[in-house]
Structure 1
Amino acid sequence: MSQVSDDRDIFFEEDDLKYEEEILRNPYSVKSWLRYAEYKKEGRKEVLNLIFERALKELPGSYKLWYNYLLIRRKQVEHLLATDPALDQVDNVFERSLVFMHKMPRIWLEYCKFLMDRGQITKTRRTFDRALRSLPVTQHDRIWSLYLAFVQSNDVPELACRIFRRCLKLMPEKSEDYIDYLISVDRLDEAGQLLANIINDEDHASANGKSKHQLWNDLCELISKNPGKIHSLKVEPIIRQGIKRYTDQVGVLWNSLADYYIRNGHFEKARDVYEEAIKTVKTVRDFTQVFDVYAQFEENMATSSMEADAAVDDAEIDLRLARLEWLMERRPLLLNSVLLRQNPHNVLEWHKRIELYEGKSVEIVKTFTEAVQTVDPKLATGKLYTLWVEFAKFYEKADQISDARNIFEKSITVNFKYVDDLASIWCAWAEMELRHHNPNEALKLLQRATTPPKKRVNYHDETETVQNRLHKSLKLWSLYADLEESFGTFKRCKAVYDRIIDLRIATPQIIINYGLYLEENNYYEYAFKAYEKGLALFKWPNVFDIWNTYLTKFINRYGGKKLERARDLFEQCLEYCPPKFAKCFYLLYSKLEENHGLARHAMAIYDRACTAVLPEEQPEMFNIYIRRAAEIYGVSHTRSIYEKAIDVLTDKDAREFSLKFADLERKLGEIDRARAIYAHASQMCDPRITLKFWKTWKEFEIKHGNEDTVREMLRVKRSVQATYNTQVNFMSSQISSVNQNEDDDEEDEMRKLEKRARELAEEEVKSQTKEKNINFISSEENPKKVEEKNPEELDIDWSDDDDEATESSKVTVEKQFIPDEVYGGLKKDIDETIV
């Protein structure tokens, strides 16, 4: 089947019949036409175009048909040159589509893109304008995005600027894009104006997310780096406004302003800007930024002058080098000024500033004057009074004493924050008078300073001025007392000390000084009264030094003449004395009784002291008590002291005293007493830890014991061991830390004892003739008791129940010297102990 259309032969195939029939049945179905076009898309383009033309003839208002048809027609010509006539046919198709689709923004966008690809600027611009006129305002943003991209892609700045201005009327958020474009085409004056307008518009929100501060920085950078291209803006007011507004970018903005004048060639104006900047910035960071750039500017100026030899004379070069050197010399002073602008009440920085002016008297006086006038006493950081004192010392060093006095006179009227500050002023004034040999004038000053005000005020009431509270300053009274001691009379000095005590501002050291002063003048009873006044003022532990001085001086003065009074003093002292300070007083008390009193009183004091001092000092006190008792009453009198010590002290100290007590009884020949002491002390001696105790007891039994005592010691040791084993073993770490050398020594000792026992056995074999002299109690009479003999002659292994013990180190008693009953029982007990 064939059909002729548009003077061209179009051939239809057999497979097209079903689509043709469907169209004939339903010519207004968009889906049917699209299915037909989809089927023929791989065929000849004329056939496909004809299908869409037939479809649009039936359905001219279908957006889908027009959109798909236009895409296919664009694709068919995309590889052709811009001058090919086929492109005009596509233009005609777009124009025909817009007759029906003029409200569809997508059709307009495709048409504009097609024209942009062809490079037809005028026709494209007019098409964009037609699109904007045809579409509602709510859809203009889709057109403008492509429109702006089009004008920026073509090198026609005037056209682009006009289109941008039109766009900004509807879409002011595109202002930053316009500014970027203006900067790119070097239209900086308009860019600066627009950027300034954006910054001034409080309702403007940056499309790129920039803050007002960032936009301001961009403006300052733009106008400072392009001074010759921006004429519509007043640069200096803009930057200065930024300096006031953005305090965290002050240094950068000052540098921008100076850079603007440098680029304009106004170097002197730039230097003035730098000078103003370094004298007004308030942070070290801003100062460093400005100073570094300023120094670089001066260095560049000097370098350029030296390089241009012919154009610049030597005087100009010297001037620029001098400016650079002068700037570098001023840096410490300028930096100090910055810190003082940060905190004008910083006393330390004022002192540093004065040191920087060393050798410049006029500047120093000006700085001192400015400092004392600027610093607020209530806000001062540091000690304000030091400024006044140093100010006065400056005049003093210049031998202008009258001016120094004037400074001090003014300083004492300042309402300092603390009384101590004002007192320091008075003290410094008095010390100045002393340095110039005017002690009477110094005393008058201190008398004047310590005179109480007419109305009664509370010293601790901070609402009162420091001048009204000065009369209770201990610093002033201490200096006053020292000067009276050195230059005054006894009566006046005593009155000063009494006044200090009456005002209740004395310290223990003041009381001691008062007593020593009275003692130096042979007023001993007055000194003791002074100590007693001090004792009434203070409590423990503040009265420790007073009591110590008082009691020592009293004993040195009277010795045993006023013994009862001394005893009363000691008892009064010890009544409330804390254990921490009791030791020295008890020793002093007992020494007094030993030298001037009764021995039994001394022993009673020692006995009280042993329980009155700190626990860690009790062993030392017991040792002193024992030693003194032995010297006075004899060794036997110390038994009760040892018993008390063992009861009172901790287990560790009690063990040591037990060993000493047992050794004392051994030396006195009281073997049974010593053995009883060891047995008593063993209850607090864990065999795994207290190796020394058991070793000492063992050596004692070697020298003085027999089989029964050995058995008893081992039984006690087993019992103690079992007692400690039933408790929670907190001592494992201590057991593991026992020195291996001690184990080795114990093993060596066991071997020596075993060897000694064997030697004794051999001696017994050789001396069988003496066997009749050895009487053993038969097992029928008393099987558990053997007649006492020299332990060194017994064939017994005295080793402890150590893990390293072997069968060869067990207790061995030669059977031929001991009855069977006794031998068997003893061997069984000791074997059980070892196991």
Structure 2
Amino acid sequence: MSEPKLVREKMGLELIEENDLPYEYQILEGPNNLTNWLRYYWHKDSIVGKLFVLQRACDHLKRSYKLWIMYLEHRVELVEGLNPVHYKEEYLKVNKEFEKSLYLLNKMPLLWLKYLQFLNLQTDVTLIRRKYTEALRTLPLTQHHIIWPSYLEFADKVGGLTGCKVYLKYLIFNPDEIELVLNRLIQWKDIPNSLIVFQKILDDPSFVSKEGKSPLELWLEYLDLLISFKKPNKSHDITVETFTRNGMKLFTDQQGKIYVKLATYFIKRRLYEKSRSILEEGLITVKTIKDFTVIYDSYAEFEESYINKLVEQIQHKEESNEDASHLNNELDLKLARFEKLMDRRPFLISDIKLRQDSNNVDEWLHRITLFNPENLGDILNTYVKAITTIEPYESSEGLSKIWIQYSKIYEDNGDLNTARTILDKAVKVPFKEPEELVNIWLEWSELELRQDDIEKALKVLEVATKSPLKSKIDYKDVHLPVQARIHKSIKLWSFYLDLVESSGDIQETCRIYDRVFELKIATPMIVVNYANFLEENQRFEESFKIYERGIGIFSYPTVFEIWNIYLTKALKRNLNVERIRDLFEHALDECPDNLSKSIYILYANFEIENGLTQKGFKILQKAINRVSKESIPDLYQVLISQTQKFNGLIATRPIFESAIEKVPETHTIDLVLQFATVETELKEFNRVRELLKYGGLLKSPLKNVKLWEFWNDFEIQNGNKDTFKDMLRVKREAMDQFNTDILNSSESIGFVKSSTGPKVSSINASEPVQEEQNPDAIDLDI
């Protein structure tokens, strides 16, 4: 501890010793030679001697960076570890030497760094801060990075206002460290400046947190800082609320949490009404169920806890025999408010869904069901709000339901004029789909029907179906308003026709049917209904003309059902034979193969019933060559049945033979059995056996059980031992044939056919496996 003082007292020529003289002579000869001074320095053993030499060297070589560094390092080494308060003068002397060196070498950053690091050991914060500032001003910007780590270390050590100012300066130098600066400002409670810095983060869309935090996480951290402020005032309240509301705009998916945090802040400030207003605002502002649930649950919990505290206070006052009437009144008020909050929940949820999509018709209809039916005013107001809010062309399906239900309320209450007025306004609404407008017109017509006024109902439909001047209008043309298209609505015309038919006015009914045909919107059902209507009124030829019109409009397969009905009706009326034949030929002219079967059968039956049996058979033969493969078996069955009926069993033989060749394989066996049954009746047993043999070799006996059972029964009744053996021989032949096919098939996919030698067990290859004997086998010598 006494060495520095000793050094100060002896820093003179007395430090020159006799063995130093050679070095002194060298210095006299070359005082500006750095090597001479270094040799002298290395010659000295004591720190005092070294300092003596370096001090003199720096006086001669004033701008020698190396000498100054060596000299100052020794000076720092002498005072390092000493208390900067007790030895303040010693530190100041070293500071003076640093100042002297920097006066000469002020562009040397390492020299500045050593000085600043030495100052950090001292207690004069103002001096240190000023010297850091001086260093940054003196050194070029490209060398500031050398100084800043030490400067930030000083700021971390000092903290407070000084630390905040240092970090704000550092932010200017290195904007990439904005997150570090913000953390320090938050740490040292510099609210105003941290707000400014944080706003820079939020305003920078390219910002990426080096700590892996999202902008939301940073924002919430800062909000927590604002909320946790120990002594808030009105100015701080404004700061918190402004910051929070800005956050609501930035993080729209977190509005529920943010509203709750803001309300919690004011609850801690005991500003309960303010917190309630914030929660209420959140309930009517947020647009998601998630945010709503967060706010609502917090709101309910707050009210419940407030009520519980009031109850506790009332109990305490009652126990102390104090007046608690004002608290009881407040409790009643809070309970009523809490109950109302519970009742409002479904309406608030409905509000959210409508804020998400104000054109959601289903939600408007659901909202109406939430009201008590007795609250007619609220229900009507909701209808009005829905109608005025919904954009028709952007609404979901079912907008007409709102108008219809709205009018029904007035109808149910006997105000028919208002109901009609509502429907009159509804038909002018630019609906998205024409079906919506059709529903309105139909409702209006039904309203008149419910009043037993069929004339007004018809008048409504007459207005609805009135065609615009433009003739060619496509019902599906979305570029036209629905009012210009609904005159082509088949739903509207169908209702109109039903109503007119029920009125009994035949001429008007026919006029409307004809109008439907003119508009080219007739459907097969309209054609059939029109024809039936005329038939019911004994206008048969006109009904046939309607069928003809329908046939001219539609093509196959749509027209197929019209033809079926038309032909049936024509046959029933016993029209001229040639006319009916022309109808059948016309029907078959373009009929697809897969639909023509029933028409051919009907045609053939007509000819047969009229005594032209052969002509009917020819029609069936012709049909067999034209219909689809799936229809051929049915036609053969009809042909066989009719041939047997009119020409006897023998005449069916060529038909069976032809059928067996042409029908799909799935029907061949059935035909063989049917043919065999016919031959059995004719006692042609040899022909039966040939047929069965033919059929038995078509499939494996395992898949042809029905045939083999038939043959077995046949031989039992009509055969003998030899014919039974022949049957078994054929069965064995079929078995061998199809088993061989299976084996060949197995070989083709990689299975190895077993040899004809004895089978070998996989367990013991030396012992042959004995084939199992069938105890039920018939011993026949074949």
Do the two structures share a fold, i.e. TM-score over 0.5? Answer: yes
Distance 2:493 2:681 in 1: 65
Match of 1:589 in 2: 603
Query: Aligned match of 2:281 in 273, 276, 286?
Result: 276
Secondary structure at the residue paired with 1:517? helix
Deviation at 1:391, TM superposition (A): 0.9
Query: Aligned match of 1:384 in 399, 405, 412?
Result: 399
Match of 1:299 in 2: 304
Quick check: 457-466 or 393-402, which moved more?
A: 457-466
Match of 1:508 in 2: 524
Deviation at 1:367, TM superposition (A): 1.6
Query: Aligned match of 1:435 in 425, 428, 450?
Result: 450
Secondary structure at the residue paired with 1:231? helix
Secondary structure at the residue paired with 2:557? coil
Summarize deviations over 1:350-377 as a string: whole Å, max 9, x none: 1112112232211111121222222222
Deviation at 1:181, TM superposition (A): 4.2
Instruction: Give the partner amino acid of 1:391.
Output: Y
Distance 1:207 1:528 in 2: 84
Secondary structure at the residue paired with 1:580? coil
Deviation at 1:229, TM superposition (A): 4.6
Match of 1:528 in 2: 544
Secondary structure at the residue paired with 2:341? helix
Match of 1:361 in 2: 376
Query: Is structure 2 residue 567 aligned with structure 1 residue 551?
Result: yes
Deviation at 1:727, TM superposition (A): 8.9
Deviation at 1:506, TM superposition (A): 1.6
Distance 1:122 1:555 in 2: 120
Query: Is structure 2 residue 243 aligned with structure 1 residue 228?
Result: no
**What does 1:598-609 align with in structure 2 at a 5 Å threshold?**
598-609=612-623
Match of 1:151 in 2: 155
Quick check: 655-664 or 587-596, which moved more?
A: 655-664
Distance 2:73 2:633 in 1: 111
Query: Aligned match of 2:332 in 294, 301, 318?
Result: 318
Secondary structure at the residue paired with 1:579? coil
Rate the CA distance shift 1:463–1:198 in 2: closer, same or farther, 3 A.
closer
Quick check: 247-256 or 301-310, which moved more?
A: 247-256
**What does 1:190-339 align with in structure 2 at a 5 Å threshold?**
190-191=192-193, 194-195=196-197, 198=200, 223=226, 226=229, 228-229=232-233, 231=235, 234-235=238-239, 236=241, 239-240=244-245, 243-244=248-249, 247-255=252-260, 257-259=262-264, 261-309=266-314, 310=317, 313-339=327-353
Rate the CA distance shift 1:158–1:476 in 2: closer, same or farther, 3 A.
closer
Secondary structure at the residue paired with 2:522? coil
Match of 1:782 in 2: none
Rate the CA distance shift 1:201–1:600 in 2: closer, same or farther, 3 A.
closer
Q: Is the 8 A contact 2:40 2:53 kept in 1?
A: no
**What does 1:372-521 align with in structure 2 at a 5 Å threshold?**
372-460=387-475, 461-521=477-537
Query: Aligned match of 1:340 in 349, 354, 362?
Result: 354
Deviation at 1:349, TM superposition (A): 1.6
Q: Is the 8 A contact 2:660 2:668 kept in 1?
A: yes
Distance 1:712 1:636 in 2: 27
Summarize deviations over 1:687-717 as a string: whole Å, max 9, x none: 9987988999999899666999999999999
Distance 1:657 1:709 in 2: 20
Deviation at 1:422, TM superposition (A): 1.7
Match of 2:110 in 1: 106
Query: Aligned match of 1:578 in 592, 596, 611?
Result: 592
Match of 1:537 in 2: 553
Q: Is the 8 A contact 1:392 1:408 kept in 2?
A: yes
Q: Is the 8 A contact 1:116 1:124 kept in 2?
A: yes
Q: Is the 8 A contact 1:250 1:286 kept in 2?
A: yes
Distance 1:497 1:136 in 2: 98
Deviation at 1:578, TM superposition (A): 2.0
Query: Aligned match of 1:650 in 649, 659, 664?
Result: 664
Secondary structure at the residue paired with 2:594? helix
Summarize deviations over 1:510-552 as a string: whole Å, max 9, x none: 2222233333334333333332222222111112222222233
Instruction: Give the partner amino acid of 1:485.
Output: E
Distance 2:205 2:426 in 1: 56
Quick check: 392-401 or 115-124, which moved more?
A: 115-124
Distance 1:290 1:394 in 2: 36
Distance 2:189 2:308 in 1: 32
Distance 1:457 1:491 in 2: 26
Q: Is the 8 A contact 2:37 2:57 kept in 1?
A: no
Distance 1:71 1:681 in 2: 120
Distance 1:509 1:203 in 2: 64
Summarize deviations over 1:570-627 as a string: whole Å, max 9, x none: 3322222223322333333344344443332333333334344432333343334334
Quick check: 212-221 or 295-304, which moved more?
A: 212-221
Query: Aligned match of 1:639 in 636, 639, 653?
Result: 653
Instruction: Give the partner amino acid of 1:320.
Output: K
Query: Aligned match of 1:116 in 115, 120, 127?
Result: 120
Q: Is the 8 A contact 2:584 2:603 kept in 1?
A: yes
Instruction: Give the partner amino acid of 2:531.
Output: G
Gaps (5+ residues) in structure 2? 1-10, 318-323, 754-770
Secondary structure at the residue paired with 1:752? coil
Quick check: 602-611 or 670-679, which moved more?
A: 670-679
Secondary structure at the residue paired with 2:495? helix
**What does 1:680-691 align with in structure 2 at a 5 Å threshold?**
none
Instruction: Give the partner amino acid of 2:364.
Output: W
Distance 1:154 1:572 in 2: 108
Distance 1:128 1:396 in 2: 88
Distance 1:283 1:707 in 2: 87
Summarize deviations over 1:787-816 as a string: whole Å, max 9, x none: xxxxxxxx31xxxxxxxxxxxxxxxxxxxx
Secondary structure at the residue paired with 1:273? helix
Count of residue correspondences? 730
Match of 1:630 in 2: 644
Distance 1:709 1:262 in 2: 103
Distance 1:613 1:34 in 2: 124
Rate the CA distance shift 1:142–1:397 in 2: closer, same or farther, 3 A.
farther
Distance 2:280 2:519 in 1: 58
Instruction: Give the partner amino acid of 2:621.
Output: D
Summarize deviations over 1:52-111 as a string: whole Å, max 9, x none: 789878976554565577667767876666679798597677567546554322233233
Instruction: Give the partner amino acid of 2:499.
Output: L
Rate the CA distance shift 1:725–1:109 in 2: closer, same or farther, 3 A.
same
Rate the CA distance shift 1:684–1:137 in 2: closer, same or farther, 3 A.
same
Q: Is the 8 A contact 1:430 1:446 kept in 2?
A: yes
Distance 1:429 1:110 in 2: 97
